[in-house]
With several copies, the nearest count.
Chain A
Amino acid sequence: TAAAPAALAQANPVGAEGGDPNILTLPEHSKGLGQAVATDGYGRPSKYEANVQRRPSPGLTQTSQASVSFAPLQSLFGIVTPSGLHFERHHQGWWDIDPSKHRLMLNGSEASLMKRPMVFTMDELMRLPSVSRFHFIECGANTGMEWGNVAVPTCQYTHGMLSCSEFTGVPLKLLLDMAGVDYKRARYVLGEGADGSSMTRTVPMELVESGEVIVAYGQNGEMLRPENGYPLRLVVPGVQGVSWVKYLRRIEVGDQPYGTKDEAIHYVDLMPDGKHRQYSSIQECKSVVTTPSGGQVLLDKGYYNVSGLAWSGRGKVKRVDVSVDGGRNWRTARLEGPVMSKCLTRFNIDWVWDGKPALVQSRAMDDTGYVQPSFQQLRAVRGTRSIYHNNAIQTWLVQESGEVKNVQLA
């Protein structure tokens, strides 16, 4: 399915005839009649974009239904992730569920915590007040392979468990209000999926009360994709992806956290003292340069727009600095608007490459004042066995040959 490797010569030659043949000889499309409207009632990317795919990382998991595919960050623009390229993380495979048969149930861990346990159809949920908001989703294990040392070649594999969409749905708070929740005692919320794993995760009531947690059916203008939880998923802004329960079938409120498989066996972060941090949920401020990045080749000296993504699970990105000398000196990048809370922010900065080796890094800061740490700073506190929540500064080595390599600095 992938296109043939591209010719590497990046050039703009005049040609022997006194001009580029691509200009002097008019192309077929300038001299003919093209295709009709609605050739595709639902369109696809150009055939020349076949290289832009989400991909699993070879050998990362033993099965393909409890696995991951990574978004091709190196080829994306702006902040919206095309839904067809959204990263995937399934625990028991994905399904295409008939939405007319899907139900959402609300209940309390005991009767006194919710006056009125309820059942909703999709039709009913879609009648309720909706909000539409842009948020990133990042797997807690994103960049998890790189805790100890460099493991994978491109930013697709280092950072590609990251995507960003406009989500539409009903604030969970509104549903809980309808059901009459005892907010004094019910401080924990359980989301449960309808797939085989019936994924469960505990979410703090504080986040729900903030209005940020959404019971979402819309993603980037259309319904959620099946791989992302069609027809209903929980959106928990700022929190690792595993909490964004897909195929959402049930919400329970309770007075204690639930210690689910993915809060007691996985998504627990092993610290140097041998203890695991449990219920570590927030994705802290992080960034990565996506162009140039690992596995790419600069074919010429000269001007390059260095571009990348920054985000924070605690709020808005406030500033991004970029270094091309391995962190010795930094310049502040331009942020593309809108800068939104718990959302990707695209940054850009000028760079003229002189052909010598360069070490490209980005460092993000959020509006709480938190600064993205280096690997050293992160490891000094958390060691190298955590798997989750690796938000260290990424380094790309641009070699004299132009080839860009994933490296870590001493």
Chain B
Amino acid sequence: LGTALGAESRYPQVGRDATPKELAAWDIDVRPDFKGLPKGQGSVQRGMDVWEGKCASCHGVFGESNEVFSPLIGGTTKNDVATGRVARLMDAGFPGRTTLMKVPTVSTLWDYINRAMPWTQPKSLSTDEVYAVTAYLLNMADVVPADFTLSHDNIGQVQARMPNRNGMSTDHGLWPGKGMGNGGKPDVKARACMKDCVPGVALASALPDFARNAHGNLAEQNRSVGAQHGADTTQAPRT
């Protein structure tokens, strides 16, 4: 591994050039700056057909279903579209988070639908169908009007209306590279006290007794020998 030879010639007979056709077949990713986005277009109207034919059964007619996954649509407002911050994310009391509440980048939606949806038939949509159904989702979220046609030309403008486009931060220490973040500085700082570290101890939260069997009988989830055995959670707690 430490020779001075160029890597290209160091491993003769191993690997070959990728062909343009091969690259076209697999290089499908679409970045936030839309690098990789194929040309095409799709209207909200056509998107509705795609949606109702291929998506609604799982995600609900309005993208509201949480039957197979959490809801895609909901929780965003016209004001969010204006500010680029989803206000309800600031409300700790608001239950759940929909996809549209979180996603900052429209490229992410396009790329993911293109590669992975419909769930049971990923990569079966045409490029125009992906544009269309993305448009339909954005329309349900009030990001684009009902008569909108999404295309490679105008998707940049749509980006400027994404409800949570300003909702992301990379100002943290968890990116292991230099390009983003604070360079790896931890946000939480603890110290390793050894003696008399806390004045008193009180329980804040514990698994309630009625839930003790909710994950099945724990006696059956520990081996039959050992320093400890599993509690028989079909019975009331031992006293």
Contacts and interface: CB of A to CB of B under 8 A. Distances in A.
A407 B205 contact: yes
Interface string B181-218: 10010111111111111100111111100011011111
B1 A334 contact: yes
Nearest to A372: B190
B18 interface: yes
8 contacts: A116-B8, A177-B7, A274-B87, A284-B174, A291-B227, A314-B184, A350-B3, A380-B188
Nearest to A365: B192
A202 B87 CA distance: 28
B143 interface: no
Interface of B: 1, 3, 7-8, 10-23, 25-29, 31-33, 35-36, 66-69, 85-87, 89-92, 97, 99, 102-105, 107-108, 111-112, 115-116, 119-124, 164, 167-181, 184, 186-198, 201-207, 211-212, 214-234, 237-239
A327 to B, nearest CB: 5
B188 A282 contact: no
Contacts of B233: 153, 295
B173 A282 contact: yes
A139 interface: no
Chain B at the A interface: mostly helix, strand, loop or mixed?
Answer: loop
Contact of A381 (B28, B87, B187): B187
A410 B203 contact: yes
A387 to B, nearest CB: 9
B170 A296 contact: no
A281 B175 contact: yes
Contacts of A294: 207
A112 interface: no
A204 B183 CA distance: 12
Given A153-B215, A407-B203, A408-B203, A272 B92 contact: yes
Interface string A150-181: 11111011000000000000000010011010
Interface residues of A, number: 170
A206 B66 CA distance: 39
A356 interface: no
A159 B98 CA distance: 26
Contacts of B3: 350
B31 A373 contact: no
Given A297-B228, A327-B197, 5 more contacts: A264-B104, A383-B92, A397-B206, A401-B238, A405-B206
A330 B26 contact: no
B221 A295 contact: yes
Nearest to A140: B174
A271 B122 contact: no
Contacts of A279: 170, 174-175, 180-181
A409 B170 contact: no
The 10 closest A-B pairs by CB, nearest first: A204-B177, A302-B13, A274-B90, A177-B7, A5-B219, A326-B201, A296-B228, A295-B218, A280-B174, A149-B205
A19 B32 contact: no
Nearest to A74: B222
Contacts of A263: 108
Contact of B196 (A58, A63, A291, A329): A329
B167 A66 contact: no
A249 B232 CA distance: 30
B212 to A, nearest CB: 7
A329 B198 CA distance: 8
A223 interface: yes
Contact of A303 (B11, B67, B228): B11
B21 A24 contact: yes
Nearest to B28: A198
Given A126-B227, A192-B29, A198 B22 contact: no
Given A107-B18, A128-B11, A292-B227, A92 B116 contact: yes
A13 B28 CA distance: 23
A276 B167 contact: yes
Nearest to A250: B26
